[in-house]
Amino acid sequence: MTERLRLLAADEADLETLSALMQDAAVKAGDVAYDVKARRLVLIANRYRWETRQPSRARCALRLDSLTGLRRRGWPSPDTVLDLLALRWADGGIELDFAGGAALRAEAECIDVELHDLSGPWGTRRTPRHTL
């Protein structure tokens, strides 16, 4: 049976865990949607599965709820693929930082985030590497 993650974050420690699991997720800029009425931001990504020893990725959805606004910085064209670096709570908002300087800031009443794997894993030959 294929193991799929479905996790909720309700505080900063939970969000830190989701950030570690989402690090190096490949996100197409056009696969990020903000619904003002629903007060929700959803992004679809190919997440590197850091929790396993096998190099693999899984398609996932990251959903942020209870939002009051969204700001974008350096947001590229919809076809651009971004690497998610981190999620963090800062001064009443959830910040999503991407490689290359793009960023989102979701103003939020509280931390209300869900990570949900949409597919089973598939193998990859490339493990993300970070240089100092």
Write the DSSP assignment of 52-83 as a string of letters: SSS-EEEEEEEEE-SEEEEEEES---TT-EEE
Q: What is the pLDDT of residue 129?
A: 78
Instruction: State the sign of the Cα–Cα–Cα–Cα dihedral 112, 118, 121, 124.
Output: negative
Q: What is the mean pLDDT of residues 75-94?
A: 96
Strand blocks (E) in 1-132: 6-9, 26-35, 40-48, 56-64, 67-73, 81-89, 93-98, 103-108, 113-117, 122-123
Q: What is the mean pLDDT of residues 84-113?
A: 96
120-129 pLDDT tens trace: 999 998 888 7
Question: Has residue 26 got a pLDDT over 90?
Answer: yes
Task: Give the percent of the chain with pLDDT over 70.
Answer: 96
Question: Has residue 13 got a pLDDT over 60?
Answer: yes
Domain ranges of the chain: 24-74+84-121
Question: Has residue 3 got a pLDDT over 90?
Answer: no
Model confidence at 131, in pLDDT bands (50, 70, 90)? low
